[in-house]
Structure 1
Amino acid sequence: MDLTTISDITMSRQVLLIISVLSLGAALGQVSYSIPEEMAKGSFVGNIAQDLGLDVKRLKSGRARVFTRDSTAYIELNRERGILLLNERIDREALCGQMTPCALHFQLLLEDPMEFYSITVEIIDINDNPPIFITTEAHFNISESALSGTTFTLDRATDLDVGENGLKTYVLKPTDIFSLKMNNQGDGIKNVEMVLNAPLDREKNEQLSLVLTAVDGGEPQMTGTMQIHITILDVNDNAPVFTQPIYKAAVRENSPVGTAVLTVTATDADEGSNGRITYSVSNILDHARGIFEINKRTGEVTLNGKVDYEKNRNFQINVRASDDGGLTGSCKLIVDVIDMNDNLPDIHIMSKSNVISEDAKTNTVVTMINVDDADSTENGKVHCVINDNNNFILKSASEKFYSLITDSDLDRERASEYNISVTCSDEGVPSLSSSVTLTLQISDVNDNHLG
């Protein structure tokens, strides 16, 4: 896709939504934009001055700047023109993976008086990734006595794109002996199986070769292929069957390597080597690869890496049971990660005044604070307070933003400096907290008469 086309898409897809303006001496508003991924650095994002109804002169006098908690600033502000520009090319898949919608959240800050506006930029997916199979070849040993309708589990392809650009369907060729069957597992992911449609005769064909093609829904469509090699064997007419199609388990985040998750069990009605089962993990997505391992003989699944609730709240794994005769069965394993209160509230000073005049009016904003906690539910709910101080109060502007404001008249002759301690605590058990101390100088005005 050339830059002209991307620019056209940008202009046609921009969506402006001004939700609200709140006031605590600092204005709060929200603007949303949409841009496609992979736009060039310097590309136009939006006319933020126009969309917020701000004069460009206000951006200059207020030393307007973009505030983001992340180290990477994808969006920059051109104060002279009052517009937002792309600071670097964005790969939606690297930024958000499979999560939708994919968006950047940041604030536009202005000083004197202090104001901030919340801005959201949604990153729209383009079809820049083909479906990919983990392996380019698959091998099956199938008995010539296998009955029509027998199914064989195939590895799924993965597509980093999402929505219409994501993986849509599969095609298997040739189709004279085998066909495809796709089962929706209820989570939008389709399990792919190869179905035997005609009897096999080892004396006619000892080897068969098929091609499985994964097709996405983008325009133009992109594809990925896997070669399937089949060796025809004798006499194995029962495939392994798991005791249940879906297993569920839970593991606490930060559990040590080697922690037992659960044991899956399959049975095979055949005897001897045709009934001997080997377990393996298949169809595992990138974020779960290497996190779990399975004992190929017992079916015990154990933790092989670190799990972090803040990164992945659950894992979905397909387990395959294969007998020595080449038949397979599969089940799905869903592992939920249990959140632990392992993150302190993170306090960030968005903007502050180091000096304030003693004649400052009540409700003057002197500091704006942003606080976040990576934990979830009660573990991530944070409340902030200040130490006993009759001259200042802390007010919540929204869920994660606080303003420190004056609550009474100031008198430099009584106190020329204030040390204000802000403590933020979460609701976890036990509770975790963080603190920061703000030092504020009081400047003098000529308010005392000679006696």
Structure 2
Amino acid sequence: MVESARMPQVWIYVVAMTVLKLCGTEEVIADPDPSLCNEIGTGAPVVFIQGVREDITNGSVIDYVNLTGTPQQIDLRIKTPSEYLDFNSATRAIILKKPVDLDNSTNVPSIYIVLDCVVKGAQVLNIPVRVTVIVTDINDNAPIFLKPIYTVEISELTPVGTTIVTDILATDADKDNSFIEYSILPGPNSTYFDIPIPAQGKVTLNRSLDYDRGQRAMTVVIMAKDHPANGDPQFNTTVLLKVNITDGDDQNPKFLHPVYEGTVLENATRNTQVHMFTPIFAIDQDTGINTGVLYTIERSDSTDTGDSSYFYIDHRTGNIFVQKDTLFRGREFFFQVKATQQDNPDRNALAGVKIRVQASNVNPPKFLKDTYFATLVENVPIGTSVLTVSAKDMDFDGSQPQGSYLRYSLRPGKGSDRFQIGEQKPIQHC
């Protein structure tokens, strides 16, 4: 028997090895550059853009964000959206997407947007960058007066230099250009008033007024002009100032006539009213006030026995009455009456009064002839004087012409329509 050959045992050990690969494609930067994402020049992640006018158009590039870090080092993107601003990551441009009107009281002179500055290669390193844009107001509004018209009432006696208006005021929506000056534009009444301090809307009286010469109301034009600080064009607006002028007590009463004449009969008794040819009457020359007057007779004192003592006057009507019943035919009385303003005794005026005593009218007139005859030819021209008649009154004392108290007339009768008679004139054929 053949003995089989024995094979030696060989132990083979296989070692399994796993190759581990680090996940991620970017190299981890343990310590990034601390200067990244800072504004160049300030060294802080804050950007200020100034001098942007409020009239910049929508879509315009306002400025560019200039931060430390190349596009290979940092990325910029919007973190907090803005109502007014947009950002272009590729160009780093700040763009206006909505106009800003600083004249709107809800808007503020600065707008902002917050960006995220992402440092490339850093595990977690997002730095917020606030971009603030300062908007400059421009002068694009005219001043506006608080009232559509200003009205004031002053007396004609107002002294020159008096401030008559203090509330003229205009406002300007341009907050940075709100300095306003006031002036009075040239016109028919402009020299009567003045604005001595242009920065204040206070108007003073520059010339005296006179209500009694027709100055009842005056109108002037007030202009408000702004003064922009940035060289923008100026704007202005105007408003009317109406000044109503009231009458002042600067005139004395005035009688309508310097002398008043009247007559009274010789047999007139006490309290008989004197017949005045024109009523005694005085007016207040301050027509806007038109205060009533009181009438008195001027006397030297209470014991005066002169002409004025024979009469008295009604204080309100100006009628004159007999005070003494011892009047003599033909006598003339002369005295003065005073008209005094009721509310101011210093305002008064004087006028003369002349009263003549006449004979009592107790006798009828009597023609000098009982009958008057005249002969006419048939072809006498119209207008020919036919005859003159004359009468006499026994009550007439001869001191006045007959015509001053006798009046003639024709009684209706046969043929009377062919003639006419004038007062103390010859009868004429008609």
Name the structure with the higher strand share: 1
Q: Same fold (TM over 0.5)?
A: no
Give me the TM-score of the superposition, normalised by structure 1: 0.40
Name the structure with the higher helix share: 1
